[in-house]
Structure 1
Amino acid sequence: ILPRKVGRQDRLVIYFAGHAGITQDMNGKDLGYLVPWDAQISNAAKSITLDELKEFSRRVMSRHVLFLLDTAVAGWDVTPPQQLSLEGRSAPEMETEKRAIQVMTAAGKGEAVIRTESPDAFVQAIVAGLQGAADTDKNGWLLASELAAYVTQRVEQKSGGVQHPQFARLHGEGDTILIEGQKASFKSGGQTTEAEKIAAAKEEYDQAFSMLQQQQSAQEALVRLNKAIEYYPGYGDAYVLKSYLYLEHVPNLTEALSAARSAVKFAPNNPDSSYTLGLVLQRTGQFPDAEQAMRQALAVNPNYSDVYLSLGDLYAEDLKDKAKALDAYKRHLETGGVEGRAKAYLEQNGRALPSTTQ
Structure 2
Amino acid sequence: MMATTMVRPWLGMAGLLLGLLLAACSDKPPQVPQATAEAPVVASAQDPALLAALQQLLDKHRRIIVLLADEQDQSASDRATSTAVGQQLFHQALEQRRSVADGFAALLDSGRPERMSVLAALLDYIESDPGLYDADRLAFVEVLRDLHHRLAADSSLPAVKLRQRVDEDLAALAEVERTYNAELTHIFSRFQRTRAIALKREKWQDYQAYLLTRYSRTAILRDFGVVEPYPMAMDDGQRELFGRSLPERTVVLSFDDGPHRAHTEEIIAILKRYDVPAVFFQVGRNLGTVGEDGQARLGPMAAISRQLSAEGYTLGNHSFSHAQLSRSQGKDLQHQVMAADTLLRQVDQRRAPLFRFPYGARNAEGMQLLAEAGLKSIMWNIDSMDWADPVPESIVQRVLEQVEREKRGIVLFHDIHERTVKALPKILDRLIADGYQFAGWNGREFSVSRARAAASAEATVTTAYANSWAIVIGINDYAHWPKLEHARHDARAVASTLTGQFGFPASQVIVLEDGQATRNNILAAFHDRLADAGTGRDDRVFVFFAGHGATRRLASGRDLGYIIPVDSRPADFARDAIAMTDIQNIAESLRAKHVMFVMDACYSGLGLTRAGPSPAAFLRDNARRSARQMLTAGGGDQQVADGGPNGHSVFTWVLLQALAGKGDLNGDGLITGTELAAYVAPAVAAVAQQTPAFGSLPGSQGGEFVFELAENPEFLTATTDQLSAEAIALNGRLEASQEGRVAGSAATPVTVADLEGGRNTLVLPAAVTVSDRQRAQQANERGLQLYREKRYDEAAEQLTEALKLRPDFAQAANNLGFVYYRQQRYAEAVRWLENTLKIDPSRAVAYLNLGDACFHAGDHARARQAYATYLELQPQGSGAAHARRRLQQL
State the TM bucket, normalised to the shorter chain: 0.3 to 0.5
Q: Using structure 2 for the length normalisation, give the TM-score.
A: 0.19
TM-score by length of 1: 0.47
